[in-house]
């Protein structure tokens, strides 16, 4: 164990916080220079941890899937795009920056003031028919269906009902962009989420009968993106990754 960690544990501090205190000399040097130049300090914040920060985070499930699928939609330019349950301040915002996107979610959404985001409260496990569209997304959402985490009804087959409804919502030739956690096998982490083997979705009746896989991308355990990957081989490389599937509905 490093010296900083030993001291932090003994004092009951977070090692990260303790490490930042090594920057105090730099802080005082900068403050002194600011005052020397005639600068005025109206309020003092001693922020030391930002000295070690990078420009931002460009890794992880949401960063990659949201940006990647938004770029796919921009390239295709569908007549209509409907999203089911994806992240509003990520994927939905990306798409809304260049076109209208209709959002369905079992949870309510406060008014956004952005005309390109059209919201409808809906439960996609409900077998009632939904509107038809030529482009549809459901990112990091289907794994929650039926687990009750978002006050949705408990349903052990919720993910299967949801996928069947997604397929039924698509016009022939329409595209479905869907992502979810992938790993070595099918698991249920109640009530957080499911984890799927990467090939499991290919064997669901709704997918086998009506859809063809156009592309598979995935994010590995380190948060790095792999574009145009092989579905079967992905299982050997992830314990908790993110599979990103582009399906097209068959014409007949």
- For residues 45-71, one letter each, b for 16 or more C-beta atoms within 10 angstroms of the residue's C-beta and e for the rest, the string is eeeeeeeeeeeeeeeebbbbbbebbbe
- For residues 125-157, one letter each, b for 16 or more C-beta atoms within 10 angstroms of the residue's C-beta and e for the rest, the string is beeeebeebbbbbbbbbbbbbbbeeeebeeeee
Range of the domain at 118: 61-249
- Give pLDDT, residue 49: 84
| pLDDT tens digits, 149-162 | 999 999 999 999 99
User: Are 232 and 187 found together in one domain?
Assistant: yes
Give the mean pLDDT of 189-205. Answer: 97
User: Are 31 and 117 found together in one domain?
Assistant: no
CATH number at residue 95: 3.40.50.150
User: Are 48 and 67 found together in one domain?
Assistant: no
pTM of the model: 0.88
Number of separate domains in the chain: 2
Instruction: Please indicate whether residue 53 or residue 217 has the higher confidence score (pLDDT).
Output: 217
Give the mean pLDDT of 183-204. Answer: 97
Is 50 in a helix, a strand, or coil?
helix
User: Are 31 and 132 found together in one domain?
Assistant: no
Give the mean pLDDT of 38-54. Answer: 90
Of 21, 23, 41, give the one whose Cα is nearest residue 31. 41
- State the DSSP code for 91: I
Interatomic CA distance for residues 220 and 218, integer angstroms: 6
């Amino acid at each position: 164990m490093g010296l900083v960690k030993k001291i932090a544990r003994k004092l009951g501090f977070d090692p990260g916080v303790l490490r930042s205190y090594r920057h105090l000399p730099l802080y005082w040097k900068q403050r002194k220079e600011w005052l020397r130049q005639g600068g005025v300090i109206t309020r003092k914040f001693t922020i030391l941890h930002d000295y070690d920060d990078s420009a931002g985070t460009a890794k992880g499930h949401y960063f990659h899937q949201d940006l990647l699928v938004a770029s796919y939609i921009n390239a295709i330019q569908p007549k209509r795009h409907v999203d089911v349950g994806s992240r509003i301040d990520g994927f939905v915002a990306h798409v809304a920056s260049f076109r209208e996107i209709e959002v369905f979610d079992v949870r309510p959404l406060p008014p956004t003031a952005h005309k390109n985001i059209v919201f409808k409260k809906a439960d996609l496990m409900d077998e009632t028919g939904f509107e038809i569209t030529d482009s549809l997304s459901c990112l990091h959402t289907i794994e929650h269906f039926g687990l009750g985490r978002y006050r949705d009804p408990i349903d052990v087959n919720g993910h299967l009902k949801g996928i069947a409804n997604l397929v039924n919502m698509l016009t022939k030739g329409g595209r479905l962009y869907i992502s979810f956690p992938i790993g070595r096998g099918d698991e249920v982490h109640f009530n957080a989420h499911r984890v799927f083997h990467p090939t499991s979705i290919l064997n669901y009746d709704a997918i086998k009968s009506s859809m063809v896989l156009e592309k598979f991308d995935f994010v590995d355990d380190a948060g790095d993106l792999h574009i145009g990957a092989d579905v079967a081989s992905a299982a050997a490389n992830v314990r908790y990754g993110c599979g990103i599937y582009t399906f097209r509905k068959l014409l007949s």
